[in-house]
Amino acid sequence: MADDKYDAIIVGAGPAGSACAYTLAKRGKNVLLLERGNAAGSKNVSGGRLYTYALELLEPDMYKRAPLQRKIVREQVMLLNERGSTTIDYFDPAFGEQVPQSYSVVRAELDEWFAGEAESHGATVASGVLVDGLIEESGKIVGIRSGADEMRADIVIAADGVNSLLGQKAGLFPDAAPNSVGLGVKETIDLPDNLISARFGVKDTEGAARVAIGCTDGISGGAFLYTNKGSISIGIVFNLVEAAKQKRQVQDIFQDFKMHPAIQPLIEGGTSVEYGAHLVPELGYNGIPKRLHREGFLVIGDAAKFGINTGLIIRGMDLAIVSGLAAAQAVLETNSPSQTGELYMKQLERLLLTANQRAYQNFHNIFEISRIFSAYPNLANDAMQFLFTVDGKTPKPMLSGLYGAVKRNVTLGQLASDGWKAFRSL
Ligand SMILES: Cc1cc2nc3c(=O)[nH]c(=O)nc-3n(C[C@H](O)[C@H](O)[C@H](O)COP(=O)(O)OP(=O)(O)OC[C@H]3O[C@@H](n4cnc5c(N)ncnc54)[C@H](O)[C@@H]3O)c2cc1C
């Protein structure tokens, strides 16, 4: 390989890298897609919910041949306290019928399929290759190094994930600061399909997505459950710095969540088949590095810190795919490497990735309201307990009972200031 020269070398066969390789290869470019894992997807952890509009942007109906699991038709939000749970449940079997909406996915399968799609259009996919350096000449990036091997290309595209070593080597940004990333832990639990459907109240091809707060010991973060075919993805994402301050072990928080009386029955009898931990970009728009390119070099996907987490939805894969498409379109648009970077930024605008990120720009401030992660879920459960309790005693007046639930958890001053902060963030 040492003497080969490619039109593009893409490092990392996650959704960003494969989307980019697919688009370039389909348009006849000579593409090399490098992956450090033994196969695409072997290193990837994700809750596993893909918003399929991104595949539609790549190619109409592409999502129909992707290895998708269940179409999400049920959205549930759980507010947990130590013993109880208050759940908001939105169900609509027609949800997403008109346009592709979201599906649960198993990353190992999705990533392997995606890299295979790029390969089928002529991209060279090489697994088990750890890229550990960039080749720079006259201020321009002209290739990559993997151990003693050197490979050259007109453009190198870093799709190497949230810790992007290549973005750092290119001098575009420093190592991710601990407060800019969350830690995600995920487990896949095998269960018979009929049990999954019954427990989550969906039909066999339909799926449910649940998010939960109040399960992280007051640490900023939340949990998720997604139904797949024959398995459940369960995980938790939380703020690393706060967890370290509280000296809490990741696996203890996760184990407590799985053993919660409202969660345990959902996974009972299942077999754990996969467990992993990974960082997630946390700051949204405000975490995106100022520069995502230099001559001969672009950064896409998690490496560029694209990500949206509203507490209700976690988006990373779709943004990774869109950014891969944006990079490919920029490369296809010009033969002048000095212009590719600016064109890439324009494509991110045109494909609305930047607008999407901007729309949630201040959302992250909500997560600074620490009471969201324990006091308010407690309040919701206390209020529900009051409303549903019939014990033969003279009931308290409704308003005074509800006020009691509020007073036990927050002061009126806290309620007002949190409400104002949340309003401003939204
Ligand atoms: C627990 C958890 C739950 C999540 N849930 C969701 C969800 O439900 N929906 C959603 O949309 N997003 C979710 N995300 C986010 C999503 O996983 C990421 O946004 C997405 O994977 C980013 O894709 P990517 O291609 O940019 O990077 P990655 O998927 O991280 O891929 C990077 C690839 O580069 C390879 N690589 C890295 N360095 C090198 C190197 N030096 N040489 C060669 N190869 C290298 C890696 O092995 C990897 O395959 C979740 C993340 C976590 C951690």
| Cα-to-centroid distance, 182 and ligand 1 (Å) | 13
- Which residue has its alpha carbon closest to ligand 1 atom 5? 47
Tens of pLDDT, residues 342-381: 999 999 999 999 999 999 988 888 888 999 999 999 999 9
CA of 44 to the centre of ligand 1 (A): 6
Which ligand 1 atom lies nearest to the CA of residue 34? 43
Task: Answer whether 281 contacts ligand 1 (Cβ < 6 A).
Answer: no
Atom of ligand 1 nearest to the CA of 37: 47
CA 400 to ligand 1 center in whole angstroms:
49
The model's pTM is 0.95
Whether 159 lines ligand 1, by a CB cut-off of 6 Å, is yes
Q: Could you tell me if the CB of 324 is within 6 A of ligand 1?
A: no
Residue 285 — φ and ψ, nearest 5°?
-55, -40
Ligand 1 in reach of 43 Cβ (< 6 A): yes
pLDDT value for 3: 52
pLDDT tens for 173-199 read 999 888 889 999 999 999 999 999 999
Region of 262 on the Ramachandran plot (φ > 0 left; ψ -120 to 50 alpha; else beta): alpha
**Quick one: CATH architecture of 179-281?**
2-Layer Sandwich (3.30)
Q: Return the CATH class of domain 5-67+106-173+289-351.
A: alpha beta
CB distance 176 to ligand 1 below 6 Å: no
Which of 163, 314, 315 has most ligand 1 atoms within 8 Å of its beta carbon, as the pocket-test mutant?
Answer: 314
In this prediction, residue 248 carries a pLDDT of: 82
Is 266's C-beta closer than 6 angstroms to any atom of ligand 1? no
> Does ligand 1 lie within 6 Å of residue 58's CB atom?
no
What six digits make up the tokens of 135?
Answer: 């080749």
Return per-residue pLDDT of the chain as tens, 426 residues: 445 799 999 999 999 999 999 999 999 999 999 999 998 988 777 768 999 999 999 999 999 999 999 999 999 999 999 989 999 999 987 776 766 789 999 999 999 999 999 999 999 999 999 999 999 999 999 999 999 999 999 999 999 999 999 999 999 999 988 888 999 999 999 999 999 999 999 998 899 999 999 998 888 899 999 999 999 999 999 888 888 888 888 889 999 999 999 999 999 999 999 999 999 998 899 999 999 999 999 999 999 999 998 878 889 999 999 999 999 999 999 988 889 999 999 999 999 999 999 999 888 888 889 999 999 999 999 999 999 999 999 988 999 999 999 999 999 999 999 999 999 888
| Spans of all domains in the chain | 5-67+106-173+289-351, 179-281, 365-425
278: CB partners within 8 A, 6+ apart: 44, 45, 46, 162, 183, 184, 186
Q: Measured from the CA of 49, which atom of ligand 1 is nearest?
A: 8
Tell me the CA–centroid distance for residue 200 and ligand 1, in Å.
Answer: 27
Are 134 and 170 spatial neighbours (Cβ–Cβ below 8 Å)?
yes
